[in-house]
Amino acid sequence: MSHNGGIDEGGTRSRLTSLEVCAGAGGLASGLEEAGFDPVLLLDNRPVACETLRLNRPGWDVRETDLLDFDPAEEPQVYDVDLLAGGLPRVKSPAAAVRTRGDDPELSVLAAAVDLVYGVQPRALLLENVSDLVTRSEYEEVRAEVAGELEHLGYRHRWHVLNARDHGVPQSREVGLLVAFKGDLIDRFSWPRPHAGPGPSVGRTLRDSMAARGWTGAAAWAAQADVTAPTIVGGSWERGGADLGPTGAKRSWARIGVDGGTVADEVPDADFVWNPAAGRDGMVPLTVEQVAALQGFPPSWRIAGRKTARHRQVGNATPPPLARALGEAIASALRAPATAPEHDL
């Protein structure tokens, strides 16, 4: 596909272009793809993440490189893309960074992503991170630095928090978002509205997969798991194995008979006896594929690597349905006529 995409009957481009940094397992990229964005380049510094991206989209140009080392002058295809996007590593609070007596590489990545706006000159910017970056006072200086840089470059921006459960994801997951547009394009932008009615539950999402190896208790388990999943945490790449998050999250999982202390290789077989009263041995663990379903990945999306690396990729991803909703909102602003009225937000 050409850099400019196809032209529809109305004379506007039917597809838009994107550059994605910190692409990970492709949650953001796959959702944006559904919203009409085709990436001209995707960057990630982890070989296994690049393998996942190539496994699912062999036609994508995926580069294993650190964002801090990327020079857009060497990749002219990224100039003037419609969207620069990234699900960035989760920043620590400035106080936590001080306690660790080191610099904060996550904040360095955030700064590098904003700096990239200068070299790429995208029409729009979308960065996803922890909700605290948007809401907490200890990040006020970080937000002010980002605002100053974007304004200097001729971009207007907005910070916002959305919960993935309001956009078709069976998980309560608040994400912090930064959207910016060149010039006055932001006047045409509105944040995606929550879906009407309750979203999918854990039980409804996982019932069929739980029964895939003949477990007769799958339907009963699914019926009582009529809740939204707690926030799934991928965990640190540097330490620990695969599990479903900190102690509070594990307690939430235990209430629906799920062992949050591990990630399984397979779903239960016909001999499994579900008896949460017996402790972890009587609870059902989830597989990486099931965790991916709770993140909103389509069943066809494959994750490369060994189990812990696969879980890390899935748990740290942007839920694709949320990415699609954001992409559609951004695409609508980019395609709107210049005379479109401003939205009251």
The pLDDT, as a whole number, for residue 321 is 97
**CB of 330 closer than 8 Å to CB of 124:** yes
3-state SS record for the chain: CCCCCCECCCCCECCEEEEEECCCCCHHHHHHHHCCEEEEEEEECCHHHHHHHHHHCCCCCEEECCHHHCCHHHCHHHCCCCEEEEECCCCCCHHHHHHCCCCCHHHHHHHHHHHHHHHHCCCEEEEEECCHHHHCHHHHHHHHHHHHHHHHCCEEEEEEEEEHHHHCCCECCEEEEEEEEECCHHHHCCCCCCCCCCCCCHHHHHHHHHCCEECCCHHHHHHHCCCCECCCCCCCCCCCCCCCCCHHHHHHHHCCCECCCCCECCCCECCCCCCHHHCHHHCECCEHHHHHHHCCCCCCCCCCCCHHHHHHHHHCCCCHHHHHHHHHHHHHHHHCCCCCCCCCC
The per-residue pLDDT for range 44-76, each reduced to its tens digit, is 999 999 999 999 999 999 999 999 999 999 999
Q: Rounded to whole angstroms, how far apart are CA atoms 319 and 26?
A: 9
CB-CB neighbours of 70 under 10 Å = 20
Residue ranges covered by each domain of the chain = 16-196+317-335, 202-314
Helix axes 105-120, 140-152, angle to 10 degrees: 10
The pLDDT, as a whole number, for residue 1 is 37
pLDDT at 8 over 70: no
Domain 16-196+317-335, CATH class in plain words: alpha beta
Residue 183: left if φ>0, alpha if ψ -120 to 50, beta else—which one?
left
The pLDDT, as a whole number, for residue 92 is 76
pLDDT at 42 over 70: yes
The per-residue pLDDT for range 232-267, each reduced to its tens digit, is 988 878 777 889 989 999 999 999 999 999 999 999
pLDDT at 291 over 70: yes
The per-residue pLDDT for range 202-211, each reduced to its tens digit, is 999 999 999 9
